[in-house]
Structure 1
Amino acid sequence: MKFNYKLHRLCGSAYGNPDASNSSSSGANIVYTSSGNVLLSPVSNRVQVIDLLTHTVRTLSCEARSNIRTIALSPDDRLLIIIDNQNHAMLVNFHRSVVLHRFTFKRSVRSCKFSPCGSYFAVTYGNHIQVWHSPGLRREFAPFVLHRTYTGLGDAVVSIEWSSDSSVIMASSRAGTVRIWTVDTTEGFEPITLSGHKSCSVGAYFEKITQGSGGRIRKVYTVSADGALVSWSCKYSDEDAQDDEQKEFMDASNAALSFFGGASNDFFSSGGGNNDNQTQAQHLVKGTWEVSARHYFHQDTDVTATNFSTANNLLIVGFASGIFGLYELPSMSNIHTLSLSNQVIRTVAINDTGEWLAFGCPSTQQLLVWEWRSETYIIKQRGHAYGMRCMAYSHDGVVVATGGEDGTIKLWNTSSGFCYCTLKSHTAPVTACVFSNSSVVLSSSLDGTVRAHDLHRYRNFRTYTAPTPCQFTSLAVDPSGEVVVAGTMDPFHVYTWSMQNGKLLDILTGHVGPISELKFHPTRGTLASASWDGTVKMWDLYKREGEPESIKHSQDVVCCAFRPDGKQMVTGTIGGLLSVWNTDDCRLICEIDGKRDIAGGRKVNDRMTADSNSSSRYFTSVCYSADGSCVLAGGNSRYVCIYEISQQILVKKFQISFNRSLDGVLDELNSKKLGDGGPIDVNDGSDNDDPDFSANLPGAKRGDDGSRKSRVEVITSQVAFSNTGREWAAVSNEGLHVYSLDDDMIFDPIALTEEITPNAVRTNLRKKKHNVALLISLHLNEFALVREVLEDIPHKSIAHVVRSIGPEHLERLMQFISKCMLDSPHLEFYLQFCLEMLRQHGIHMEKHRSTFMRAFRSMHRSVQIHHDDLKRVCDDNRYTLDFIGDQTQIALEREGSS
């Protein structure tokens, strides 16, 4: 069994943090790539990469120290800068997801942005702006080189904007002022301050530089939180000196020169024909600013996020009420005003083409991408409102169902990573969910119901209840899908229902503690129920002769699981002990002490060290691997462990998250934050820029700031292996972590070089190297050549050749075989190819069914055509033989009678 599992994607949240309500800086920005088809969305301390064309999502392997506050992508999509709430920055190679450099800013950073030329990037530095040189391609010891620090704003800087030629930078502040600087020293220029707002300035943007503007900045738009937009115009002194007659003469001379093929020069501008060589910063020396227009959005709420598409003159505004507005400037025409949510919109983005608008609501972990011309949603994703609690894999491993504290059940596609259905039937937190078959998912809840949902119509078609009100904590379905069982918190009963008619069949009594886990035997009708009373009872639901056999433990049992063949069962107790039992005679096979493996992590309010607090760490969920040789276990800790049963050893240990914004990640707390009353963490996630700021109440010795907020603890609620064995998933407070063996980078040993020719294919065929010849022909992608190679392969070598084909060429090979099969007389030969491909690569096709569906349908169509033809010929032959037989019988009877 392989153990090189890597985090493939983080499902359950497309944007935001798990503790968004406790942090005012939880609304990190979202960024489009240069193509406009890929969206980067920060989730907790990771970055989700969402492809809007293929509707897939992947998670970058790099991980920040704490929740991300801002990200910035270079214009060539080569470098990604990630800055977290603690002002720790990472320089990442975006395409390879490799961390190149780490850096720490000494003051608060709220925004970061690359210049259009890619040579600089600017960050907000408390009340200042810092411009740094962008790292080059050459590896450097310290790639961050400071260019200059810009000052002059009275309060914290909120946003940054660059001019189109990267020579001018503009920043807005909480004081309501906007300040403009030149990146390099410009003779005669003084920084410009625009103060026309009564509240915090949310954003400031340059107008598009038109062809007739001479490369000069004409207008600037500033937006404030109180819903006001101010348009600032810049007038230049050299333009005022030109009168109307000179302008008319200049236009006429330019038209005449262009008619005769000459080059036109502006002789009336200062500097003559070299005027176009001046930068926008040099033009600003001669400019004066004034308010040209003032507009209002007329919404009874604050503006929380803005963005501006310079190429399309489109302004997008997000409000605290969940409404957004799309305006066309400079006319301020309202194109759309729609309500997306009832929560605050913290960030908005628009791609370069101006077609797709992206919105992020951190309090609901909601991400929306909207196409405003067609008024349709491209993506609409939302996580569980109060966290994820349980999960279950479908039998084919393609769908994952998750239950949340908000009472909803979400269905996730493991190939794309998106939620495609949300079932809202429960009114209380969902405690367990399980698939009955590929089309039915059942869930239990604290509202006292067990509900069955149809995955074809996406509705609740049956509800199971108990005679008396109770809270269900566990759920299981027998392998045949006929019996549903659920355990309760109180009165410690196990209820059984018929799946077909919903009638209550039996109530299993005998436990004296809450039922923590229910599992059916894979091949028999035996039910195992684990309870807090320290026992696991084995019930035979079909015989019910005598009392159930009870397996006693020294401590409360919190989890159990059967091996896929049903010969073993593993149980976990609150002491961190995993016990393996023989299911035939209930004999103890071995015990694995995992208390030291899962121990670690000290919470902020703990009065003891992590080593002394290890008694509270134990496994709450276990499951067997697909081959039954290993056990995957997770619990109220940041670790997930894989144990080998026969050797009783720890094979590998995974840490779910390194996010220091969560509680229980660090084993040792910072001694500077230890007060008289215990550990304190005053400035964590705070927006205050003063490093000496203290939120302690006057006279208070315990560091009490009056708030009663608690940090989210990193724990694992449930773990599960996929039936294919290629991946496993864990439910934590951050979402659904999917770890997979499948690597996105596919190694292809044959490239298109000068040696890859049809002659090379035939040479390998003469040498009987059929697998190499097939690979080369697939690279050349010529149908006649591929058919020649396929029909030259001996029948006994088909299995070996198919085994040598990697997943990167499998889809094309299926297409070629389906095309060759249509008019080929070698039907059995190609059917053997189809059979071997399903045998060798069936699991991979099932996992990536969306990729192979088109080729599989084409291959199925070819087989179906031959099947129909053969059926028609056989039917005709059968009727012909019947007719000949009847005629022969009649002739024999006539001869006999005569």
Structure 2
Amino acid sequence: MKFQYKFQNLLGTVYKKGDLLFTPDGNSVISTVGNRISIFDLKNNKSTTLPVESRYNYNALDLSPNGCTLVAINEEGEAHMISLISQTIVHKYRFKRKVQAVRFSPDGKHFAVCKENNVFVFKAPGPFSGEYNAFVMERVFHGAYDETTCLDWSSDSRILAVGSKDMATKLYPLDKWANFRIYSLGNHTDGIVGCFFEESGYDITTISRNGQTCIWECTVDPKDMVPLVVAPPKKRKKNSSESEEDGIDISKSLERTEEEITKALSEIDVEDADTKTHEVNKLFYKRLARHYLADEVRKENRDAVLTSAAYHKKSRILVTGYSTGAFFIHELPDLNLIHSLSISDQKISSIALNQTGDWIALGCSGLGQLLVWEWQSETYVMKQQGHANNMSCVSYSTDGQSIATGGEDGKVKLWNLVSGFCFVTFSEHTNAVSAIAFSGSKKFVVSASLDSTVRAYDIIRYRNFRTFTSTRPVQFSCVAVDSSGEFVAAGGQDIFEIYLWSMKTGRLLEILAGHEGPVSGISFSPTLTSTAMVSVSWDKTLKVWDAIEKGSAHETIHLTADGVCCAFKPDGLEVAVGTLDGQITVFHLKTAVQVSSIEGRNDLGSGRSEADLVTAKKSLQAKSFTSLCYSADGECLLAGGQSKNVCIYNVKESLLLKKFEITQNRSLDAVDDFINRRKLTDFDNIALIEEREDREGGNVSIKLPGVRKGDLSGRSVRPEVRVFSLRFSPTGQSWAAATTEGMLVYSLNGSGGVFDPWELQLGITPMAVREAVEDRDFANALIMSMKLNEVDLIQEVIESTPPKDIELVVSSLEEKHVQRLLLVIATYLESSRHLEYYLHWAQQILTVHGPKINAQKCIPTLLALEKSLVRKNEQISKICNYNKYTLQYVSTLGDIFSKKEKEESTKMEVESDQDDELSEEVFNY
């Protein structure tokens, strides 16, 4: 089995904090998801996460006008220039401080960055600027007296407007102009949130945090700007006391204040014919109006604050978002209210408008919401929200097309793995969801919660159709469904019993007692012939039950430490148990003999928290695996727990095959194994010092002792990186991990660059394969290409085989080649346009070799084939239905028109007959 799994997608988290962007075509939204970036394609209803990872969370983004280059800056000031074509980081740059905003100029030649009270202007690489170095600084401006918060470029890319917390907006010229220098706009009583130029001129609108909006009119049009041609300074005699620095060319100074520029211009000659012949029009601003936008919001909440704003220059639409979760749409310059809506109870962190101004993207960092609202039709284009707290459990459907997740917010969500979107949310639970499981028939999903209920949800009708309860309140910690889907079992956390219900009737059938500690894991045998069930508990025992046939009779296997989790092998003969001492033990179910033992504590990694008082070596002794899952073929074991590492072990050899690091995000806690020496002082770790806000009782950065799952005291602590649940896809092509970051999906797709041959022999080369195809020896060519295991070569051989020879080629294959060929066909069915051709291949393989296929070993391959066929069926059925209804509409329209034509022709005939009769009567008269 191959283990070249690559990161494929991030689900369960759509937005955390930072900027939102629309692509130039307006069909996709770019969102910051922690230290990753996701792109949501609204036209094709699909989401993808870039294979780019930062060391800290991203907070500032901007996209070049051509849509090819993305500048992303994280919380620590590290800037990444990302190519959206190759989806790789092209260059890195360190600002060493937090950056508030970044913006490309409309002509694509420059981009500006706000850091502290400074503004840096860089040349943008590409054909527009002729510069191919990534970060070439051109100008630096120091005019602000406090932190800069926002910026905007004029439409001609000549002037840069920068708003800051000092309640003023500064205007900086990129080039030197005779009638314009640095200009400052005041009249605000709070920090600036947004400043926006008009499209055709230099008129500007500024918005502050308290909702004040000022509209400014400029006295100069862009065509009236006069370039400044500066001559060398006049030579004058130097006194002996004067230094050598008086001869500096002031025109070459980039970092100058307004007073220095005014003084310099008084000493130089302006050699411009136009300026000498007529008077230069000086640039001034006049305030036309001041509006108070927050008054309407503060009628309901006095503490409401304007948190974000966006402006569409063509349609002159202004969108403002507030801390109450409401947003307003106004039309400039009169600021007429067009539309208002409240979408959440949390503040709106970011707003973006698409190219046409019809779609508004809204991000709420508190709940992790991302909405795209079409304000003219008042409908949602996209509405996605992840789990408010951590995602605690995950489960694949039997065909591998969808996945179910449960969170500590009490919600159960179903996700489509193809599109990456959540398509249904169940919120019937009133407490955290602790476990979740799909039925074998894929008709329902079962979830267990700490609210003393186990609920079953119908996936077809999207409703909660069963609620299982116990005789007394129990906090359920685990749940399982048998292979037939008729029985549901759940284990208690505070009451050490296992409850068994009937799915058809919903009645409690049996209460299985015997454990002396919390039941931490439960699992049914995956085979239809066995009704065995295993449970593991903190009482250091593994119990084997046959509750369906024998009731409470069970067999006990003693463990070396407290049992944490358990997993059945796909053939139902073995069971793996993870214990609190970091070991994984595998037992044979019928003989109760230990088959294998894996010491995995050292593979987890220490992951020392910043506030830990113990060393990394000592903290490693408390680590253990909390989730286990067998691979689809049963040869390997996937394990994860209280660290950032996910391990794949070979069960038979007790050997670590590969280790995956799920994140490099230092914004989370316990990522590094050692504390940075810069944070260690003579008085111990600086992270142990309590830091509060100015007001007493503000946010505290130290968590309460013993708190692991969310600090309810309202403290701003960093969450620790954890792997809560792991599941392998039934197709064997991917696996999913529920982590602190969200649900990470790793897949084999796209790993074709790795040379991984199978039973390779001397003389099997791509040239030999192509020679066999030319000689029309298609069977030999196909076998050689599969042994080379090159994706493009296998596809070339398959598509070179004539349809009439497919049956002969398939019948000449051996049994060991059939399964691999079937997996290749299933893969190509998803992406290839030659649908009928590959269906013919699949039909011939199943017809000729169907009786010989080992169903147990070939289940992942058959499930992959079923998944591809179901997906193609859904895609084609949509097209067929669209064509069907379109043809019906056209035919109905044709019938209506033909009926009208007949009516008109008969009417004309009647009128002509009446005219003839009338003419005869007149003639006779």
Q: 1:831 to 1:709 in 2, by over 3 A?
A: closer
| Structure 2 counterpart of 1:620, from 616, 626, 639 | 626
Deviation at 1:812, TM superposition (A): 2.3
Q: Secondary structure at the match of 2:43?
A: coil
| Structure 1 counterpart of 2:724, from 717, 720, 724 | 717
Which residue of structure 1 aligns with residue 205 of structure 2? 221
Q: 1:834 to 1:74 in 2, by over 3 A?
A: farther
Deviation at 1:62, TM superposition (A): 1.0
1:814 aligned to 2:822? no
Which residue of structure 2 aligns with residue 588 of structure 1? 594
1:537 aligned to 2:557? no
| 8 Å contact kept, 1:535–1:557 | yes
Deviation at 1:114, TM superposition (A): 1.3
Matches within 5 A, 1:463-474: 463-474=467-478
Summarize deviations over 1:27-67 as a string: whole Å, max 9, x none: 30011111111111001111011111111111111111111
| Structure 2 counterpart of 1:485, from 465, 483, 489 | 489
| 8 Å contact kept, 1:415–1:847 | no
CA distance in 2, matches of 1:616, 1:140: 54
| 8 Å contact kept, 2:394–2:406 | yes
CA distance in 2, matches of 1:163, 1:494: 68
Percent identity of paired positions between Structure 1 and Structure 2: 37
Q: Secondary structure at the match of 2:649?
A: strand
Q: 1:14 to 1:810 in 2, by over 3 A?
A: closer
Deviation at 1:769, TM superposition (A): 7.2
Q: Secondary structure at the match of 2:383?
A: strand
Q: Secondary structure at the match of 1:70?
A: strand
Q: 1:401 to 1:218 in 2, by over 3 A?
A: same
Matches within 5 A, 1:335-350: 335-350=338-353
| Structure 2 counterpart of 1:294, from 265, 275, 290 | 290
Give 1:613's aligned amino acid.
S
Give 1:160's aligned amino acid.
L
| Structure 2 counterpart of 1:568, from 569, 574, 577 | 574
Q: 1:128 to 1:284 in 2, by over 3 A?
A: farther
1:768 aligned to 2:776? yes
Which residue of structure 2 aligns with residue 778 of structure 1? none
| 8 Å contact kept, 1:601–1:666 | yes
| Structure 1 counterpart of 2:508, from 497, 504, 507 | 504
Moved more, 157-166 or 847-856: 847-856
Q: 1:122 to 1:519 in 2, by over 3 A?
A: same
CA distance in 2, matches of 1:55, 1:196: 45
Q: Secondary structure at the match of 2:621?
A: helix
1:113 aligned to 2:113? no
CA distance in 1, matches of 2:502, 2:543: 21
Moved more, 793-802 or 367-376: 793-802
| Structure 2 counterpart of 1:432, from 406, 430, 435 | 435
Q: 1:324 to 1:528 in 2, by over 3 A?
A: same
| 8 Å contact kept, 2:124–2:131 | no
CA distance in 2, matches of 1:413, 1:565: 28
CA distance in 2, matches of 1:142, 1:641: 40
1:728 aligned to 2:735? yes
Report 1 or 2 for greater relative contact order, CA contacts < 8 Å, sequence distance ≥ 6. Answer: 1
| 8 Å contact kept, 2:691–2:700 | no
Q: 1:316 to 1:583 in 2, by over 3 A?
A: same
| 8 Å contact kept, 1:311–1:352 | no
Give 2:212's aligned amino acid.
A
1:495 aligned to 2:490? no
Which residue of structure 2 aligns with residue 658 of structure 1? 664
Q: Secondary structure at the match of 1:203?
A: strand
Moved more, 713-722 or 763-772: 763-772
Give 1:768's aligned amino acid.
R
Q: Secondary structure at the match of 1:628?
A: coil
Q: 1:188 to 1:567 in 2, by over 3 A?
A: same
Q: 1:582 to 1:139 in 2, by over 3 A?
A: farther
CA distance in 1, matches of 2:608, 2:280: 56
CA distance in 2, matches of 1:238, 1:164: 9
CA distance in 1, matches of 2:222, 2:561: 88
CA distance in 1, matches of 2:358, 2:752: 31
| 8 Å contact kept, 2:170–2:185 | yes
Q: 1:603 to 1:788 in 2, by over 3 A?
A: closer
Deviation at 1:679, TM superposition (A): 2.2
| Structure 2 counterpart of 1:441, from 434, 438, 445 | 445
CA distance in 1, matches of 2:773, 2:453: 66
| 8 Å contact kept, 2:317–2:331 | yes
Q: Secondary structure at the match of 1:506?
A: strand
Matches within 5 A, 1:25-424: 27-136=17-126, 143-209=134-200, 217-236=201-220, 286-297=282-293, 298=295, 299-300=297-298, 301-424=304-427
CA distance in 2, matches of 1:43, 1:653: 24
Q: 1:626 to 1:273 in 2, by over 3 A?
A: farther
Deviation at 1:527, TM superposition (A): 0.8
CA distance in 2, matches of 1:850, 1:522: 23
Deviation at 1:273, TM superposition (A): 14
Give 2:809's aligned amino acid.
S
Moved more, 185-194 or 507-516: 185-194
CA distance in 2, matches of 1:726, 1:696: 41
RMSD: 3.8
CA distance in 1, matches of 2:203, 2:669: 48
Deviation at 1:296, TM superposition (A): 2.6
| 8 Å contact kept, 1:746–1:808 | no
| 8 Å contact kept, 1:162–1:170 | yes
Q: 1:559 to 1:49 in 2, by over 3 A?
A: same
1:475 aligned to 2:466? no
Q: 1:566 to 1:792 in 2, by over 3 A?
A: closer
| 8 Å contact kept, 1:632–1:640 | yes
| 8 Å contact kept, 2:736–2:743 | yes
Deviation at 1:837, TM superposition (A): 13
Which residue of structure 2 aligns with residue 797 of structure 1? 809
Which residue of structure 1 aligns with residue 748 of structure 2? 741
Summarize deviations over 1:688-741 as a string: whole Å, max 9, x none: 9xxxxx9999xxxxxxxx995432000111101010001101111111111111
Deviation at 1:373, TM superposition (A): 2.1
CA distance in 2, matches of 1:340, 1:325: 11
CA distance in 2, matches of 1:717, 1:456: 28
Which residue of structure 1 aligns with residue 238 of structure 2? none
Deviation at 1:128, TM superposition (A): 1.2
Counting matched residue pairs gives: 759
Structure 2 gap segments, 5+ residues each: 225-270, 299-303, 703-712, 755-770, 783-797, 882-925
Q: 1:192 to 1:485 in 2, by over 3 A?
A: same
Q: 1:848 to 1:687 in 2, by over 3 A?
A: farther
Deviation at 1:792, TM superposition (A): 4.8
- When normalised by structure 2's length, the TM-score is 0.76
Q: Secondary structure at the match of 2:833?
A: helix
| 8 Å contact kept, 2:325–2:348 | yes
CA distance in 1, matches of 2:846, 2:535: 44
Give 1:470's aligned amino acid.
V
| Structure 2 counterpart of 1:645, from 624, 630, 651 | 651
Structure 1 gap segments, 5+ residues each: 17-26, 210-216, 241-270, 276-282, 689-693, 698-705, 748-762, 774-785, 819-827, 862-898
Q: Secondary structure at the match of 1:287?
A: coil
CA distance in 2, matches of 1:85, 1:830: 51
Moved more, 346-355 or 540-549: 540-549
Summarize deviations over 1:80-133 as a string: whole Å, max 9, x none: 222111111212222222122222113331111111122211110101111111
CA distance in 2, matches of 1:642, 1:565: 19
Give 2:174's aligned amino acid.
V
- When normalised by structure 1's length, the TM-score is 0.78
CA distance in 1, matches of 2:715, 2:833: 60
Q: Secondary structure at the match of 2:617?
A: coil
CA distance in 1, matches of 2:804, 2:397: 41
Summarize deviations over 1:168-194 as a string: whole Å, max 9, x none: 111111122111111123345321100
